[in-house]
C-alpha cells in the first residue's frame, strides 16, 4: 500500500423504482462505476417489473405493488429505504447513499477525487447533502433527448432547487423523511463539493409520455402550463459558478418556517449553467 492510498469506506447506494427503466439503468451505470454494482440495492415496486439488463450483481428485490395515495406511498417507500439502510449499516457498511433513480450525487471533478474517495474522508457530520440542481430542457436551444448519449452532453442548464438539496448520504444509521428530503433528529450539512443532479424534467417529450399514461387531462395541463423547471431554464438568464456558491450559503442558513429541517432559498429561483466539467461524470 502506498503512502497516499487510504482505505476506502464501504459504501452502499439504495433506491426504489417503478416503471422507470430509462433512469434506473443509468442509476445502475453511474453508481456501479462509482462504488461497484455489488454495493447497489434496488427495490422494484411490483412483481411485474423488469430487472434492468445492466443490473449485473446488484441486489434487486421485487415487492408486490399496492395502489396508495401519494402521501401514503411516499411514507411507505421511505420507511422501506430507512429499514434497508439500517440493515446495511448492521451488515458492516460505513456509508449509505439513498436517492430516487433519477438523482445522481456528484463530487466536483475539480477535486480530482472519485465519489468513493471523497466520501471516505473523515467527516464530523451524520448526513451530507449535495447542492440541488434540477436539470431542465431549454426549449429554445436544446432538442429532444437522445437516449443513447449522456444526458449532460445534451443539457446545459439547471434550476438551483432546495427540493433536491437532500441529505442523501447517511454516515450513521438514521431515518429519512419522505422523498429523502430530511433526516429525522439530525440537521443537514451541504457539502461544498457535492451536487445532487435531478433529471425528472430533463426532457419535455418524456414528461408528455408520462402524462399520457395518466390521461388526456394531464397532457392538456402540461401543454397549457408547461413544466416549472423547463419554463424557468428556457426563459431565465443563466448564472455562473458564483451563484452556486452563494446559493449553498443561503440554503445552509435560511429555513422555511414550515420546515426547519430543510434548506430554504428565500423564494429566489435561480437558473445556472451546469459547469462543463461535470460531463466527465458520464451521466
Convert 6-42 into a string of H (helix), E (strand) and C (coil).
CCCCCEEEEEEECCCHHHHHHHHHHHHHHHCHHHEEE
Q: Please, which pLDDT band fits residue 222 given cuts at 50, 70 and 90?
A: confident
Cα-flanking dihedrals φ and ψ of residue 245, to 5°? -65, -45
The reported pLDDT for the residue numbered 260 is 67
More confident residue, 62 or 2: 62
The reported pLDDT for the residue numbered 257 is 66
Cell numbers linked to 126: 451524520
Compute and round to an integer the Cα radius of gyration of the chain: 18
The reported pLDDT for the residue numbered 2 is 36
Other CB atoms within a 10 A radius of the CB of residue 19 amount to: 15
Q: Could you tell me which of 101, 114, 128, 92 has the C-alpha nearest to residue 35?
A: 114
The whole-chain average pLDDT of the chain stands at 93
- From CA 128, how far away is CA 166, in angstroms rounded? 8
Place of cell 388526456: 216
- From CA 22, how far away is CA 51, in angstroms rounded? 12
- From CA 32, how far away is CA 135, in angstroms rounded? 22
Write the pLDDT tens digit of every residue in 20-70: 999 999 999 999 999 999 999 999 999 999 999 999 999 999 999 998 888
Residue 105 β-bridge partners = 196
Is the model's pLDDT at 3 over the cut of 50? no
What are the CA-CA distances from residue 42 to residues 14, 55, 101 (Å)?
6, 9, 9
Is the model's pLDDT at 103 over the cut of 80? yes
Write the pLDDT tens digit of every residue in 72-90: 999 999 999 999 999 999 9
Q: Which of 64-73, 81-90, 126-135, 192-201 has the lowest mean pLDDT?
A: 64-73
The reported pLDDT for the residue numbered 261 is 74
- E strand residue ranges, 83-239: 95-98, 103-107, 127-136, 157-160, 169-170, 190-201
Is the model's pLDDT at 4 over the cut of 70? no
Phi-psi category of residue 157: left, alpha or beta, with phi > 0 → left and psi -120 to 50 → alpha: beta
Q: Could you tell me which of 184, 25, 167 has the C-alpha nearest to residue 96?
A: 167
Write the pLDDT tens digit of every residue in 230-269: 999 999 999 999 999 999 999 988 877 666 678 888 889 9
- From CA 86, how far away is CA 82, in angstroms rounded? 6
More confident residue, 61 or 211: 61
Amino acid at each position: 500500500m502506498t503512502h497516499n492510498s487510504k482505505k476506502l469506506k464501504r459504501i452502499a447506494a439504495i433506491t426504489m423504482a417503478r416503471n422507470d427503466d430509462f433512469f434506473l439503468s443509468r442509476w445502475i451505470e453511474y453508481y456501479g462505476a462509482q462504488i461497484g454494482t455489488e454495493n447497489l440495492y434496488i427495490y422494484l415496486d411490483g412483481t411485474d417489473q423488469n430487472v434492468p439488463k445492466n443490473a449485473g450483481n446488484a441486489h434487486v428485490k421485487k415487492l408486490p405493488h399496492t395502489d396508495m395515495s401519494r402521501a401514503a406511498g411516499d411514507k411507505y417507500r421511505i420507511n422501506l429505504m430507512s429499514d434497508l439502510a439500517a440493515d446495511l449499516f448492521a451488515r458492516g457498511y460505513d456509508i449509505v447513499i439513498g436517492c430516487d433513480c433519477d438523482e445522481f450525487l456528484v463530487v466536483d471533478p475539480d477535486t480530482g477525487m472519485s465519489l468513493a474517495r471523497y466520501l471516505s474522508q473523515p467527516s464530523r457530520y451524520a448526513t451530507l447533502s449535495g447542492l440541488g440542481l434540477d436539470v431542465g430542457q431549454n426549449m429554445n436551444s436544446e432538442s429532444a433527448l437522445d437516449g443513447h448519449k449522456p444526458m449532460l452532453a445534451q443539457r446545459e442548464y439547471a434550476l438551483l432547487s432546495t427540493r433536491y438539496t437532500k441529505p442523501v448520504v447517511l454516515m450513521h444509521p438514521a431515518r429519512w423523511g419522505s422523498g429523502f428530503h430530511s433526516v429525522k433528529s439530525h440537521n443537514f450539512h451541504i457539502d461544498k463539493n457535492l451536487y445532487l443532479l435531478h433529471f425528472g424534467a430533463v426532457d419535455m417529450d418524456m414528461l408528455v409520455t408520462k402524462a399520457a399514461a395518466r390521461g388526456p387531462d394531464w397532457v392538456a395541463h402540461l401543454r397549457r402550463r408547461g413544466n416549472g423547471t423547463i419554463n424557468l431554464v428556457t426563459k431565465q438568464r443563466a448564472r455562473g459558478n458564483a451563484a452556486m456558491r452563494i446559493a449553498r450559503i443561503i440554503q445552509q442558513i435560511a429555513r422555511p418556517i414550515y420546515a426547519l429541517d430543510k434548506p430554504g432559498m428565500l423564494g429566489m429561483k435561480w437558473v445556472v449553467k451546469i459547469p462543463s466539467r461535470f460531463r466527465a461524470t458520464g451521466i
